[in-house]
Amino acid sequence: MADIRSNFLGIQSPNPFWLASAPPTDKEINVTRAFEAGWGGVVWKTLGEDPPVVNVSGPRYATLMSQDRRVIGLNNIELITDRPLRTNLEEIWRVKRAWPDRAMIVSLMVPCTEASWKAILPLVEDTGADGIELNFGCPHGMSERGMGSAVGQVPEYIQMVTAWCKQYTKLPVIVKLTPNITDVRQPARAARAGGADAVSLINTINSVMGVDLDRMLMNPSTDGWGSHGGYCGPAVKPIAQNMVAEIARDPATAGLPISGIGGISNWRDAAEFIALGCGTVQVCTAAMVYGFKIVQDMCSGLSNFMDEKGYRNLDAMMGLAVPSVKNWNQLNLNHVEKAVINQDSCIQCGRCHVVCEDTSHQAITAMDKDGRRHFEVMEDECVGCNLCVSICPVPDTITMRALKPGEIDARTGEPVRGGYANWTTHPNNPMRAPA
């Protein structure tokens, strides 16, 4: 069987599934239940200085749901732990001793002063924790106090605080990055420059979940007022994977260990993050929606997939998809594809025709054939955009066919060229390089 044990920065865990720093990791009772269910590790909910912060005593969450009432996204205005620092430290100490084979990472957020970080780090070390995660991502509440994303959006601050932590602790230092930034490579480079052992991403995204149109109040609201919060859940997964891939393929950060976060709801999501270079994955929303036992399906699914593909351990598949991620100007413009409809499995719903006719390239005909609705691709109009494949409700009914070199592209009337050519040498590019 595949070995799904994780060795991340020398931190051992029985599987790569960690609970992210959030309400599910705020107390000894929660974390113990998580470990009993099978989670490989946790990132304890962010600790700060005493006196503890004050959270709102009202709605902290709002959800975006699909038509069948599945949670697509979750917004929260929760802050860091509102329990005393000593209470948290004592519980971390007890849990780590009861579960020595599980990863125990402690998330930290204190004011951006050297003295504050110097003071809290030895307290965390004394718990026996395996590592620390610097919360430079929280987009609300704490950022207004000069912490969280207020630090994470300034590379110079990231490098400075990371260097302090590397000076005052022997524990591995993981820097948690905010997605609320134009180019995530810059903070990742700063983290590496400061000596970070790894980065984790993404933290939550700035969001307003909606408006109650009957009361004309944003949702959620506390006593008639609301605040932007942090967005997470399945809907953020594409954003998270893009940022992970950017760091994994950036020459300045290539090889920097990554703990992937963002919309991971099942084993397949986890496998995708691992393929993009992540050594562990952190989960929050899925646990808050389905409970801790979801990790059991994640572990068995990942193990079965790895067995099927012949990956003996996580290292064998980690980062395999990274070379496939390129800038647009590196894509092969000599490659041509056309959509193909499998008439045997087509249910004649007509969605492909409607979307292509109204919003794309008018490349799918609609006709009656033998008393039935019939849809076919017109190759002389098809640009290979993949929209019909994306919206077809029947898997593998519409597929894409790559034209072979020398085959005539019916849309252009030109033979398909072999070999590779991209925008940098294309004749339509006024700044093209010599071919």
Average pLDDT, the chain: 95
Letter for the amino acid at 232?
C
CB 85 within 8 A of CB 50: yes
Average pLDDT over residues 169-191: 96
The predicted pLDDT at position 435 comes to: 59
- Number of Cβ within a 10 Å radius of residue 267: 22
No. of helices (H) and no. of strands (E), the chain: 13, 22
Average pLDDT over residues 175-184: 95
Measured in degrees and rounded to the nearest 5, phi and psi for residue 75 equal -110, 140
The predicted pLDDT at position 423 comes to: 93
**pLDDT band, residue 50 (cuts 50/70/90):** very high
Whole-structure pTM value: 0.94
Of the ranges 54-58, 72-76, 111-115, 382-386, which one carries the lowest mean pLDDT score? 54-58
Catalytic residue among 138, 165, 232, 382: 138
pLDDT at 186 over 90: yes
C-alpha–C-alpha distance, residues 261 and 184, integer Å: 14
Which residue, among 170, 100, 162, 169, has the nearest Cα to 134 in the 3D structure? 162
Buried b (16+ CB within 10 A) or exposed e, 313-322: ebeebbbebb
The predicted pLDDT at position 315 comes to: 97
**E runs forming strands in 87-145:** 103-108, 131-135
**pLDDT band, residue 331 (cuts 50/70/90):** very high
Predicted confidence (pLDDT) per residue in 197-222, tens digit: 999 999 999 999 999 999 999 888 88
Tell me, yes or no, if 112 is annotated catalytic: no
Predicted confidence (pLDDT) per residue in 347-363, tens digit: 999 999 999 999 999 99
**pLDDT band, residue 226 (cuts 50/70/90):** confident
pLDDT at 35 over 80: yes
Predicted confidence (pLDDT) per residue in 106-157, tens digit: 999 999 999 999 999 999 999 999 999 999 988 776 777 777 788 889 999 9
**E runs forming strands in 20-162:** 41-47, 61-65, 71-76, 103-108, 131-135
The predicted pLDDT at position 146 comes to: 77
The predicted pLDDT at position 427 comes to: 87
Average pLDDT over residues 399-424: 95
pLDDT at 37 over 80: yes
**For tokens 């068995």, what's the residue?**
300
C-alpha–C-alpha distance, residues 317 and 243, integer Å: 19
